[in-house]
Structure 1
Amino acid sequence: MITGLLKYEDKNCVFKLKSFTLEIEEIENRDKIFIDDIDYLFNPDNSKNSNVPNLLIGNDFDNGKEIHFNVTDIIKTGAKTHSASLYSYIIFEQEETSYDGIQIHADELNWFHNIKQSYSFMHSPDTGQSELKMESFENTEKQFEFNIEGQTIQGSLNISRTYSHVSTMPIKLQTELNLYFKPTNEFELVERLANVTYSFLKFITYRKNINFKHLILKKKNEEGKYRKVGRLYIKDLQSHHTEEKKVLQERLIDFPLLEEHLGQLFEKLAENDIYITHIPETSLDQNIITPSRVIMITAGFEWQFRFTYKELSRVSEDKYKDQRQEILAFLEEKIEENTGKKKKYFKSYRNLLLRSNMTLSDKINWALNEFSNELNLFIRQLYNLNGVTEVKYSDISARIQTQRNNIAHGNIDEEFDSYVIMDLIVLEWLYYAMVLSDVGISRANVRSAINKLFNRRFAL
């Protein structure tokens, strides 16, 4: 708990900060009762403040540190007491309250940009003599950029080293994600960047239980170096569900697979161009199929399919009939001009355009054929291990559509087809194939990403 002083409605108050609840007590004229106080005593139901300030500023008792509170609502809890709900708050280190960078620490980042690349060592079991070599920061730093709200964000990943003479771990390694932007003293941008990073980590791990250790605000000084000016705390960016170390370290899409397109992935997440609502809470939840999960997974696929392939509805088909014919003519020319993979590429898009009123089954079947080279290895192994020797994409697609429709029509008592659980696993892989391909990831890396994220254990 943190206590201190702040001003609220031009009155001096003491505050108590507990988690993301701010208890406020007026300390002026404590022994006097005013009209507002009488109104509360006789009308306690009118306790909610309709004029909620976006920002309250206080100073803590212990160190006099300035704290900025981002308020969502305030209610009056007594004649001179109030309770504020917070979305976030910042505790500043010094007098500086503007910043142009945020540094993010999370366990998942340590294995996304793997800390192991920062060192090498030699060890002699006979003598006990060991030699550790640390790489330079220059050799481990990776940079990228993306746009958000019309501003270019400069990103960097590096591995910090913390040395200690009083610990059994004399060297602590940690991956840091730094995001730099134009100087500001407002919450909005840093909250957005933290949330985009949270979405990114959920996407690359296919689970929601991400734990941010620290959100550190930084400011560039006159020498061009960044120094810490405060810490940001955001509600709901912590999970109470932990993961095993093996899951943390191995079950994720890591940096080498995304390196050339990391900025594009961040940008699409920032613009909500990637559907992530269906991602399960934990790695164990990935194995639990419920009616709601079926709806969420199929909705995620359909949303992403529509966005990735710009599916035409019948209305848009009529509205843009002339343009559609021009596109079809262009595709026909390309089909005639090309051979091999390029010919197949143009034919697939022509077929998609011709079948604009596709059912869920049509979409799944089309996408499975589109990514057959990347997914077929995993698909056949999955069904073969469960005694199915003949696998047809059309059957997978039809079963998923039937199951989704049963649930959507309220027939939740209908038993799942025994194959549907496998079908939905395939649909999850297909979703990732579409998203990663749309970002620009090579088909080879798409296959490697799915192999790693879903623990398929193929030596690719």
Structure 2
Amino acid sequence: MIDMKGFVEYEDKRYPFSFSNSRLDLYPDKFDSKSIEEWFAPFERGKVIENIHLHGVTANRKNVIFEVSEQHSDQEGFLSFDVYSIFEYDSVRYQYYNEDGKHKYNKKETKIRGIKFSGMDVDVFYPPEKAYLIETFHKEEIVTKVGVKRIVETSLGSIEWNGVKIEFTAQYTVNQSFSPEPLRSASEIIASFSEAVSLDFVKEIYLGVYQTFRYIMRRNNIVFNNIDIFDISEKNLRDMFGKFYDLRMNDEKENNSKVKRRVLSYDCIGEKFAELLRTFLEGIIYIDHLPDSIDKTNKFGPDRMIFDFVAFEREYANLYPEEEVRSEKYLEAKNDALVAMDELINKKSGKVKRYLTTFRKRIAADENSLADRILLVIKDCSSIMDPFLIYELGKEYNTEVDEITPLENIASKMNTLRNDMAHGNLDIQLDKEHIFGFAIMETLLYAMRLKALGIKDRKIQEGIIASVYKGIHIKTTKNGLPTY
């Protein structure tokens, strides 16, 4: 992020400013002493601190909008703000033409008609190396020709949001130069709007794209090198006129060599990208359980465990809201317990009777357990989950031993662990089956959502299982079904 200087408007005053290291400093034209009480008066207890926009012009004649916290530091009129985002842009664009042998131009106000993303994570999702056509002489393994395929945009689907139709596409870019690396390629994700939109709308779509990339990359450290804002010219071409910077997001790129293996790439998601993004705009998917980086993928602390439970419960409520999954044995045991409680209540009186009545209500109100929900989703996604479960638990994972299968045993342990953590039991003993349980839940989160989006089972397997678990080899039978 570059440093900036210029002038900005704040509370109907024009201040010189300096921006550096996420701090915006405003300089008054005279000293303005205030008492301690005056400094803190706007932020007394009970007042919500909002984010505000400060509009200005930079020293290189660009327009700029800083999103800052209204709570600032103030020393003799020198103001300092924390900056959360920046939109730097040209407010007008020029259309040049010739008339009577003279060069003339028209000015047109720029409007936001789309946003474009690029960076390493975009390249991982939509690999730019596919832009090349390479021919080799196999006997001597010599490359005989390197070419660039015709560059066309690939659809990632479309949605309508707040009355605006948004089309998502991906494309390659290839640059040629006379250097040791003559061809350089990169990928871009483009969101095109059916009409001009506000900056707030752009921020909403940006955040949706950011959250979607966290989901498909299966980690939090997402970095976009460039976020460009464009208008549409009279020739129906994209006219890049602004840049958006989000200073709240991670700026440390993923450097693990497994970065391409853990991604749900375009080959898996395809045109369902837009529908997946819609779920984040609607705020229905919970992803705070994701690790910060690939290196932390196999580290399970109490916070991640709790977030895993929350994420699974929310997705279950989203996708299986009406499912009743209690087994016949459970219903039989519950009925026997209620009958026994009724008999005991009839024999008691006073406070003991009231306590027993309360206990009976709790038993009667008991709903589906976490274990039952896990088993139901596994059954619904069995064609996706089978290779993963075989890899982790063996081929006998669903075979009963003493009336319980290895899978049911893990589901039961996860149910007990969730209840212990929810009730503050700190004396928790974890074993390898608990780790298998979290791995199963995190895989189920993807299996049930991607299935709900209409992605084929084989694509889901390749995306969330075969790409991570090297020991799984998925083959296809004559009738097209997967086998292992």
Q: CA–CA distance in 2 between the matches of 1:308 and 1:43? A: 52
Aligned to 2:369: 359
Which residue number in structure 2 is paired with residue 413 of structure 1? 427
Assess if the C-alpha contact under 8 Å between 1:20 and 1:87 holds in 2.
yes
Residue of structure 2 aligned with 1:151, choices 164, 170, 189: 164
The equivalent of 1:57 in structure 2 is 55
**Counterpart of 2:11 in structure 1: which amino acid?**
E
Q: Specify the alignment match of 1:335 in structure 2.
A: none
Matched residue, 2:69:
72
Question: Is 1:21 aligned to residue 33 of structure 2?
Answer: no
The structure that is helix-richer by fraction is 1
Aligned to 1:77, the other structure's residue is in SS state strand
The correspondence of residues 413-432 of structure 1 with structure 2, limited to 5 A, is 413-432=427-446
Code of the aligned partner of 1:172:
R
Match among 213, 226, 238 for residue 225 of structure 2: 213
Letter in 2 for 1:450: I
Instruction: In structure 2, give the amino acid aligned to 1:397.
Output: A
Letter in 2 for 1:58: G
- Answer yes or no: is the 8 Å Cα contact 2:134–2:143 preserved in 1: no
1:277-296 correspondence to structure 2 within 5 Å: 277-296=288-307
Question: Quick one: structure 1 residues 275 and 84, their matched pair in 2 at CA, closer, same or farther if it must change by over 3 Å?
Answer: same
- Deviation (angstroms), 1:85: 2.5
Q: Are 2:279 and 1:268 aligned? A: yes
Give the conservation status (yes or no) of the 8 Å contact 2:33–2:75. no
Distance in 1 of aligned mates of 2:446 and 2:307: 15
Distance 2:195 2:6 in 1: 27
Report the RMSD for the aligned CA atoms in angstroms. 3.0
Q: Of the candidates 256, 259, 264, which is equivalent to residue 267 of structure 2?
A: 256
Task: Give the distance between the partners of 1:365 and 1:76, measured in 2 at CA.
Answer: 54
1:370 partnered with 2:380 = yes
SS of structure 1 residue aligned to 2:290: coil
Q: Give the drift of 1:72.
A: 2.8
Q: 2:177 aligns with which of 164, 181, 202?
A: 164
Count of residues in correspondence between the two structures: 408
Q: How does 1:34-433 map to 2 (within 5 A)?
A: 37-40=32-35, 43-46=38-41, 54-61=52-59, 63-93=60-90, 95-96=92-93, 97-123=110-136, 130-138=144-152, 141-165=154-178, 167-184=179-196, 186-240=198-252, 242-244=254-256, 246-311=257-322, 357-384=367-394, 392-433=406-447
Any idea what SS the aligned residue of 2:92 has? coil
The residue type paired with residue 421 of structure 1 is: I
Distance 1:131-1:94 versus aligned 2 partners, 3 A rule: farther
Q: Compute the displacement of 1:254 (Å).
A: 1.3
**Pair 405,143 (structure 1): closer, same or farther in 2 beyond 3 Å:** closer
Q: 1:194, CA displacement in angstroms? A: 1.3
2:72 and 2:200 map into 1 onto residues whose CA distance is: 23
Partner amino acid for 1:282? Answer: S
Tell me the alpha carbon deviations over residues 322-345 of structure 1, each in whole angstroms, 9 at most, x when there is no partner: xxxxxxxxxxxxxxxxxxxxxxxx
One-letter code of the match for 1:451?
Answer: I
Write the deviation string for residues 33-59 of structure 1: whole angstroms up to 9, x where unpaired.
Answer: 5xxx34447744447598978322222
Other structure's SS at 1:193 match: helix
Segments of structure 1 that go 5 or more residues without pairing to the other structure are 314-354
Quickly say closer, same or farther: Cα 1:47–1:270, change in 2 above 3 A: closer
The answer for the alignment partner of 2:478 in structure 1 is none
Take 1:185 and 1:442, find their aligned partners in 2: how far apart are those partners? 35
The answer (yes or no) to whether the contact 1:5–1:13 under 8 Å persists in 2 is: yes
Give the structure-2-normalised TM-score.
Answer: 0.77
Bigger CA drift: 266-275 or 171-180? 266-275
**C-alpha distance in structure 1 between counterparts of 2:197 and 2:122, whole Å:** 26
The code of the aligned residue for 1:60 comes to: T
Equivalent position amino acid for 1:374 in 2: I
Alpha-carbon offset, residue 20 of structure 1: 2.9
The question of whether the paired residues in 1 share the 8 Å contact of 2:85 and 2:248 is answered with no
Amino acid aligned to 2:193 = F
Aligned equivalents of 2:163, 2:466: Cα separation in 1:
34
Between structure 1 and structure 2, the one with the greater Rg is 2
Cα distance, 1:207 vs structure 2: 0.6
Deviation at 1:98, TM superposition (A): 2.6
- For 1:109, the aligned partner's letter is V
Q: Comparing both chains, which one has the higher relative contact order based on Cα–Cα distances under 8 Å and sequence gaps of 6 or more?
A: 1
1:92–1:173 Cα change, 3 Å: same
1:62-88 Cα deviation digits (max 9, x unpaired): x22111222332424212211222321
Letter in 1 for 2:114: G
